[in-house]
Structure 1
Amino acid sequence: MSAEGDAPTGENPGAQTDPSLFDKVVNLCKRRGIVFGSAEIYGGFRSAYDYGPIGAQLLRNVKDAWWRSMVQLRSDVVGLDASILSPPQVWEASGHLSNFTDPLVDCTSCKTRHREDQLENPDQCPKCGSRDTFTEARAFNLMFRTHAGPVEGAGAEVYLRPETAQGMFVNFKNVLETSRKRPPFGIAQVGKSFRNEITPGNFVFRTREFEQMELEFFVPPDEAPQWYEYWLAERYQWYLDLGIPASHLRLRAHDDDELSHYSSGTSDVEFLFPWGWGELEGIANRGDYDLRQHAEHSGHKLEYFDQASGQRYVPHVIEPAAGATRSLMAFLTAAYRQETVNDDVRTVLGLHPQLAPFKVAVLPLSRKEPLTALAAEVLASCQLHWMCDYDETQAIGRRYRRQDEIGTPLCVTVDFESLDDRYVTVRDRDTMAQDRVPINALVDHLGSRLNL
């Protein structure tokens, strides 16, 4: 139960960020089909976004990288896919119906709404600058409520989940009995959550519909503190391994007045965005609060009996909960760079190969036969192993630049010499170095370069 090294904490005082980077990344997302505003032909829908061809694959890769790390490569974690809709009893037991609120204030001058706890000056409106125009704060529940079935009424009232965690708690007994696991073990889930945020913003960082990647790790009570430290280091290292620079990453422990009522310790993994530090993931020691609450409200025992020791106990829970869409934005921001090459500005997304939407792009030098037929042969061999792009339009230099902008690590150019010697040119995104490689050895060569 060890991770390599200790995860650093603190402010990272030497870290710097470019304020203009936010607009550059947002513009790139629209231009290259990464993220679109939802329903733009109807004027858009605030705080809702659609992921385009490149973005959908990037988001899938972020989630797959998390799943690989948290489930595939571990023997002590299993997966779950729980329902988005849940009855009120779940959220009453979890405390969301009574406690899942933000303090809402209205500016009587410009009619805008704000979260009181996020105002820099609680006496001045950040929108219009008016002073002493806020209404009294009132609790605003963040849950989306709807109705199941044809008749509206209390009996048909259901809620869209504001987090994926509760599905894992209410299925604890089912998973325990069917998976043959015993504490310490975890249940992992990736899925959509919904929160009726008062002030969504900063592009896809804070939205009302988002995706989470959560683990509930159930442990014997006396092991909870050491597992909490273990998961702090593990989750911090995951972001480093996928390309986030240490200068833009930190672990911030919550002060006592920030802790949830059930938490004995919580820390956030934060990334230095262009607007400042923002949370990517929270790791919490939740104790036995959740299982006890659901046991009390449902009437079912949610505990573990250790036959070896004869001990019966309610496990404690360590919860690493990450935002998939927030992580995507952090990876995009960290990977974005511009550099001058022969008096030309080159934009590059230096994404880790595991995250890159396309691992390989196949680029025939001409759109004419028989070059395209050979390129199709090369593409088919590569597609068996990786997501690949194919582009035969515009000059080869422009096609390289396009692949650089969407983060493709390797380009394979099929030229007229390839017809005679069956060699192709492999170009590296980061160094722009080019190597001639025989087609019959291409897959092995690319595999060694990608190292996936």
Structure 2
Amino acid sequence: MSKNNDELFKNVISHSKEYGFVFPSSEIYDGLSAVYDYGQLGAELKNNIKTYWWKAMVQMHENIVGIDSAIFMHPKIWKASGHVDGFSDPMIDNKDSKKRYRADQLLEDKIAKYEKDGKIQKAEDLQLKMDEYLKVENLAGLKELIIEHEIACPVSGTRNWTDVRQFNLMFSTQMGAMADEADVVYLRPETAQGIFVNFLNVQKSGRMKIPFGIAQIGKAFRNEVIARQFIMRMREFEQMEMQFFVRPGTEMEWYNYWKEARLKWHKALGTDPEKYRYHDHTKLAHYANAAVDIEFEFPFGFKEVEGIHSRTDFDLSQHQEYSRKKMQYFDNDLNEEGKPYGNYIPYVIETSIGLDRMFLLTMINAYEEQDLSEGDKQDSRSVLKFHPALAPIKAAVLPLTKKDGLPEKAREIMDRLKLDFNMQYDEKDSIGKRYRRQDAIGTPFCITVDHQSLEDNTVTIRHRDSMEQERVAIDQLEKIIGDLVSWKNLLG
């Protein structure tokens, strides 16, 4: 990470806390590693990102519906999905610092360093070896690579490593009144399985025809041993996933459709297209026949924010085998196409986006430190340039002074607008300081009520990004703000 990028990332983290976006969880008790709380503005921004995703996936598609499945699920589900036996990370400990690391991440960091130093062949060779060892779970081989490439512990600086061991990432607990009689249940490590086990419930109750999708937003839990990069890797996180069920043989057509559709969704927010890229998986999961990540260039490098996977019929087949319930779809449309009626297990295209990563991406993309100095006059501002539809607060109402009937007029406007928009009222400090406060939390519009407002029912609207001001009629405010913050600007 370059000094500028490192500084940007640190500034975003401190800004997030100072203005009520993200707090370390349990901070008064010295925090809890890799767990964070969303503050008053963070909760609003997070909800707006969810709304944007839900509208794009469910509201805009007649053949996609949404569900909300339980976090606790029958333990056999995780056996069928492969999580009980195969959901683990290769971990290695440094004996001097007593710190634990993911072996593959230590190697990935080394690969990134080789690439930065122009040692491309070394980076490619290490990548190939690492992929090969991960595929066959050659843990001794991973340790050999760490030693061979002289990878030191970032904390102690030594290379005094333990062997590499596998750690299961699922949290488990007991369900039942008596501990010795209780069944072990797991906190779900992903939201997808709640969709798969409800496939037939949704299909039959909603009279859904293939192709159709089921979407879900929900919490998932992974015992990530390493806390890294703020809210990038957390033990408790939120996913926005959609499983799209298709006829076998059509999966690549739909895979390519969703690959393009999902990148378009990201770019509609006005993010620099150069900061996004596709990363095709060379090493596929055993159940997949195609997989790609949409990666964003964070200050610490390109990282995955969304995955699109062609999962074949693996999940539904596994649940059919373990539950002994048929997970097949009867396709009437095949007969209309001159083919015999078909009972088959659908193939699945998955789109899965990390909400917390999307939140971090949105904060990083929006954050700017601007120098507004003119001549000898020093001035600057911190501003969050959120897309207006995502902004936590849509507009602030600011009476120019606390007297002469201006607060009363401002309150009238506030009461009128807050039914449709999330608003703030602020009458403390100079108007300039109040503008800066709203800039810092990303409010796109400030409505200033002055003495002229009492005479002709007009106010000044100040635009966050350009800082330009315009005089408008109070009666026009609902339409003006409504048009500027409308979801149509993103979804139209």
Task: Tell whether the structures are fold-level matches, with TM greater than 0.5.
Answer: yes
Runs of 5+ in structure 1 lacking a partner? 1-14
State whether residues 292 and 314 of structure 1, in contact with CA within 8 Å, keep that contact through their aligned partners in structure 2: yes
Matches within 5 A, 1:413-432: 413-432=448-467
Matched, 1:240 2:267: yes
1:44 equivalent in structure 2: 31
Q: Which amino acid in 2 is paired with 1:386? A: F
The one of 241, 263, 276 equivalent to 1:214 is 241
State whether residues 217 and 239 of structure 2, in contact with CA within 8 Å, keep that contact through their aligned partners in structure 1: yes
CA positional deviation for 1:151: 1.6
State the TM-score, normalizing by the size of structure 1.
Answer: 0.94
CA positional deviation for 1:369: 5.8
State whether residues 176 and 182 of structure 2, in contact with CA within 8 Å, keep that contact through their aligned partners in structure 1: no
Matched, 1:128 2:163: no
1:276 equivalent in structure 2: 301
2:331 equivalent in structure 1: 306
CA positional deviation for 1:145: 0.3
- CA gap 1:213/1:154 in 2 versus in 1, 3 angstroms: farther
CA positional deviation for 1:243: 2.5
Matched, 1:53 2:40: yes
State whether residues 388 and 484 of structure 2, in contact with CA within 8 Å, keep that contact through their aligned partners in structure 1: no
Q: How many residues align?
A: 435
Q: Which amino acid in 2 is paired with 1:30? A: K
Q: Which amino acid in 1 is paired with 2:460? A: T
Question: Residue 78 of structure 1 aligns to a residue in which SS?
Answer: strand
CA distance in 1, matches of 2:61, 2:397: 35
Matched, 1:266 2:291: yes
CA distance in 1, matches of 2:223, 2:22: 21
2:255 equivalent in structure 1: 228
Q: Deviations over 1:168-212 (max 9, x none)?
A: 000001001101111110000001000000212111111000000
Q: Deviations over 1:25-57 (max 9, x none)?
A: 011101101111111111111111111111010
Larger Rg: 2
CA positional deviation for 1:233: 0.5
CA distance in 2, matches of 1:17, 1:281: 26
2:390 equivalent in structure 1: 355
State whether residues 147 and 158 of structure 1, in contact with CA within 8 Å, keep that contact through their aligned partners in structure 2: yes
Question: Residue 369 of structure 2 aligns to a residue in which SS?
Answer: strand
2:119 equivalent in structure 1: none
Matched, 1:34 2:59: no
Q: Which amino acid in 2 is paired with 1:71? A: V
1:446 equivalent in structure 2: 481
Q: Of Structure 1 and Structure 2, which has the larger fraction of its residues in helix? A: 2
The one of 19, 38, 50 equivalent to 2:6 is 19
The one of 63, 67, 84 equivalent to 1:97 is 84
CA positional deviation for 1:368: 3.1
2:126 equivalent in structure 1: none
State whether residues 34 and 53 of structure 1, in contact with CA within 8 Å, keep that contact through their aligned partners in structure 2: yes
The one of 350, 370, 387 equivalent to 1:319 is 350
1:5 equivalent in structure 2: none
CA distance in 1, matches of 2:14, 2:402: 30
CA distance in 2, matches of 1:62, 1:112: 35
Matches within 5 A, 1:33-432: 33-120=20-107, 122-123=146-147, 124-131=152-159, 133-153=160-180, 155-255=182-282, 257=283, 259-308=284-333, 309=335, 310-342=341-373, 343-368=378-403, 370-432=405-467
Q: Which amino acid in 2 is paired with 1:424? A: V
Q: Which amino acid in 1 is paired with 2:481? A: L
Question: Residue 5 of structure 2 aligns to a residue in which SS?
Answer: coil
CA distance in 1, matches of 2:217, 2:88: 24
CA positional deviation for 1:451: 4.0
Q: Which amino acid in 2 is paired with 1:242? A: L
- CA gap 1:16/1:288 in 2 versus in 1, 3 angstroms: farther
CA distance in 2, matches of 1:262, 1:17: 41
CA distance in 1, matches of 2:60, 2:434: 36
Question: Residue 125 of structure 1 aligns to a residue in which SS?
Answer: coil
Q: Which amino acid in 1 is paired with 2:350? A: E
Question: Residue 392 of structure 1 aligns to a residue in which SS?
Answer: coil
Q: Which amino acid in 2 is paired with 1:333? A: I
- CA gap 1:409/1:53 in 2 versus in 1, 3 angstroms: same
Q: Deviations over 1:134-192 (max 9, x none)?
A: 11111100000011122224752110000000000000010011011111100000010
State whether residues 329 and 345 of structure 2, in contact with CA within 8 Å, keep that contact through their aligned partners in structure 1: yes
State whether residues 85 and 159 of structure 1, in contact with CA within 8 Å, keep that contact through their aligned partners in structure 2: yes
CA positional deviation for 1:16: 12
- CA gap 1:183/1:17 in 2 versus in 1, 3 angstroms: farther
State whether residues 243 and 331 of structure 1, in contact with CA within 8 Å, keep that contact through their aligned partners in structure 2: no
CA distance in 1, matches of 2:4, 2:54: 30
Q: Deviations over 1:234-259 (max 9, x none)?
A: 1111111013211111111111x2x2
Q: Which moved more, 1:119-128 or 1:158-167?
A: 119-128
CA distance in 1, matches of 2:6, 2:26: 28
Q: Which amino acid in 1 is paired with 2:158? A: S
Runs of 5+ in structure 2 lacking a partner? 111-145, 336-340, 488-492
CA positional deviation for 1:100: 0.5
Question: Residue 193 of structure 1 aligns to a residue in which SS?
Answer: strand
CA distance in 1, matches of 2:195, 2:308: 16
Q: Which amino acid in 2 is paired with 1:203? A: F
CA positional deviation for 1:449: 3.0
1:9 equivalent in structure 2: none
CA distance in 2, matches of 1:153, 1:198: 28
What is the identity percentage for the equivalent residue pairs of Structure 1 and Structure 2?
46
Question: Residue 321 of structure 1 aligns to a residue in which SS?
Answer: strand
